[in-house]
Amino acid sequence: MASIEIKSFLIFLSYLAVPSCFSYKVRYDNYKLFRVTPSSPQAVEALREFEQADSPEYNFWSATGPVGKPVEIMVSPNKVSELQHIAESMGMPSKVMADNVQERIDAEERPRTRNGFGWTRYNTLDEINNWLRSLPKLYPSAVSLIELNGTYEGRTILGVKVSYGTSKRKKSVFVESNIHAREWISSATTTYILNQLLTSTNSSLRKLAEDHIWYFFPVFNPDGFEYSHTTDRMWRKTRVPHNILCTGADPNRNWDNFWNVSGGSSDSPCSELYRGPKPFSEPCTKTLSEFIKTVGSELVAYISFHSFSQVLLIPYGHTFEHLDNYDRIYYIGLKAADALFERYGTLYKVGLINDVMYKATGVSADWVKGVFKTPIVLTYELRDTGVYGFQLPPELIIPTCEETLDSFVVIFEEYYKTIKA
């Protein structure tokens, strides 16, 4: 019992706004991952209450949605029976997806024998950044480095621009990932796509690569990402101390697009969905938005990568309305999902976030769509559907990357087909 209390205290410490002046790693021994499916509006309400309590003992891996949408919750050992009791009394089907989250964290560490940057294990921030820094040396005529100063902890946000030839008429594509720290598969996938655009000899890929100017920012939230590697594998937010108790805002609720609309984010600094005290309060979102403003009008596409759920999301997250060019992008999304399915049979849903997941406001992709009316704006929620969640085993990185790339190519092929038609 005493040891459980110490662990809970350590988890609690990780949520406090104290600088990491002593080094410890948050452990999740015997934390269970549950999937519960609310089967009535009352059950949805009950889950929302848990979620809004912002307790580190109930970590919502996916936000509560409508009736019938499963919610994955990581639960501390001493809250397991409470959750089971609530689920039973509300008639909510529940399933244990992982018996001991810490075991999976340990499994991620195992393939750590160093042989450089790659896709057989998850890379650290330094490894990703060193790889990005190596690219202009390897491909001097095509790749240049973009170094943006501006995270709370003083890190550089690193990106690359890829451009073959000098034509100014080319449209640009912006790719971002790991705005949410713990979603490691997202930067693994975008670095894979970037590498393929640079190295593949496949004719469709070469055409795609050479017909566009590319901006890749694999780690949008470097402070949070680093923290998820060094200290707390389950960290999602930034590392800005917002009050004496809690650190971080959700950088994907902090953009100036329907920022303050209720239901799509939280005003509580201890929430995983905290929108921050004002739009662009987080240095990383401020810096990135300023950079995006310099290229926004030339973008044909803005693609944002997250995990998990296996869905392809179309703006916007504040509404149920199908706005702008929704229908066209929905059609393209379906074609992309078909292509993704072809390789390994992985099923994706396509649609508005409100329809396939939940309401979300102040999101990066929606800000881009709203401000620049970028034709193609899509958000990937990569593998899986909650069996492993954020802890997708390293041996699934490459299959995930391969199938995602298949769909990525199709997005552009279909877009240009429908433009000609």
Task: Between 251 and 375, name the residue whose CB sits nearer to Zn ion.
Answer: 251
Q: Which does 313 bind (CB under 5 to 8 A by kind): ligand 0X9, Zn ion, none?
A: ligand 0X9
Task: Between 180 and 383, name the residue whose CB sits nearer to ligand 0X9.
Answer: 180
- For position 365 contacting ligand 0X9 by CB under 6 A, the verdict is yes
Q: Choose the binding region for ligand 0X9 from 117-125, 215-223, 226-234, 363-371 (rule: CB under 6 A).
A: 363-371
- Position among 35, 79, 306, 383 found at the interface with Zn ion (CB under 5 A): 306
Task: Between 163 and 361, name the residue whose CB sits nearer to ligand 0X9.
Answer: 361
CB of 306 to Zn ion, least distance (A): 3
Cα(300)–Cα(174) distance, integer angstroms: 9
- For position 275 contacting ligand 0X9 by CB under 6 A, the verdict is no
Q: Report whether 234 contacts 228 (CB < 8 A).
A: yes
Place of tokens 């820094």: 133
- Enumerate the active-site residues: 381
What is the DSSP-derived secondary structure letter of residue 30? Answer: T
Q: Report whether 117 contacts 130 (CB < 8 A).
A: yes
- Position among 123, 172, 177, 252 found at the interface with ligand 0X9 (CB under 6 A): 252
Collapse the DSSP code of 98 into the 3-class scheme (helix H, G, I; strand E, B; otherwise coil) and give the result: strand
Task: Between 55 and 361, name the residue whose CB sits nearer to ligand 0X9.
Answer: 361
Q: State which of positions 59-78 bind ligand 0X9 (CB under 6 A).
A: 62
The footprint of ligand 0X9 on this chain (CB under 6 A) covers a number of residues equal to 15
Residue closest to 283 by CA, chosen among 187, 148, 181, 168: 148
- For position 282 contacting ligand 0X9 by CB under 6 A, the verdict is no
CB of 355 to ligand 0X9, least distance (A): 11
Residue closest to 325 by CA, chosen among 264, 369, 381: 369
Cα(252)–Cα(353) distance, integer angstroms: 13
Cα(173)–Cα(247) distance, integer angstroms: 33
Label the pairing between strands 299-307 and 171-177: parallel
CB of 251 to ligand 0X9, least distance (A): 9
Q: State which of positions 130-189 bind Zn ion (CB under 5 A).
A: 180, 183
Task: Between 64 and 196, name the residue whose CB sits nearer to ligand 0X9.
Answer: 64
Q: Choose the binding region for Zn ion from 118-126, 298-306, 309-317, 356-364 (rule: CB under 5 A).
A: 298-306
Collapse the DSSP code of 96 into the 3-class scheme (helix H, G, I; strand E, B; otherwise coil) and give the result: strand
Angle between helices 203-210 and 397-420 (to 10 degrees): 70
Q: Choose the binding region for ligand 0X9 from 8-16, 34-42, 191-199, 361-369 (rule: CB under 6 A).
A: 361-369
Cα(260)–Cα(135) distance, integer angstroms: 40
Cα(264)–Cα(69) distance, integer angstroms: 16
Cα(15)–Cα(229) distance, integer angstroms: 16
Backbone angles phi, psi at 33, to 5 degrees: -100, 120
Q: H helices within 237-378, ranges in order?
A: 283-295, 326-344, 353-356, 364-372
Closest residue (Cβ) to ligand 0X9? 317
Cα(268)–Cα(276) distance, integer angstroms: 8
Q: Which does 356 bind (CB under 5 to 8 A by kind): Zn ion, ligand 0X9, none?
A: none
CB of 350 to Zn ion, least distance (A): 17
Q: Choose the binding region for ligand 0X9 from 325-333, 334-342, 360-368, 390-398 (rule: CB under 6 A).
A: 360-368
Cα(85)–Cα(151) distance, integer angstroms: 42
The footprint of Zn ion on this chain (CB under 5 A) covers a number of residues equal to 3
CB of 30 to Zn ion, least distance (A): 26
Label the pairing between strands 299-307 and 376-382: parallel
Amino acid in the structure at residue 388:
Y
- For position 175 contacting ligand 0X9 by CB under 6 A, the verdict is no
CB of 321 to ligand 0X9, least distance (A): 13
Residue 138 backbone class (left: φ over 0; alpha: ψ -120 to 50; beta: rest): alpha
Task: Between 131 and 308, name the residue whose CB sits nearer to ligand 0X9.
Answer: 308
Q: State which of positions 290-349 bind ligand 0X9 (CB under 6 A).
A: 306, 313, 315, 317
For the CA atoms of 184, 190, 191, 193, the dihedral, rounded to the nearest 10 degrees, stands at 140
- For position 350 contacting ligand 0X9 by CB under 6 A, the verdict is no
Binding residues vs Zn ion (CB under 5 A): 180, 183, 306
Binding residues vs ligand 0X9 (CB under 6 A): 62, 180, 183, 252, 306, 313, 315, 317, 353, 360, 363, 365-366, 379, 381
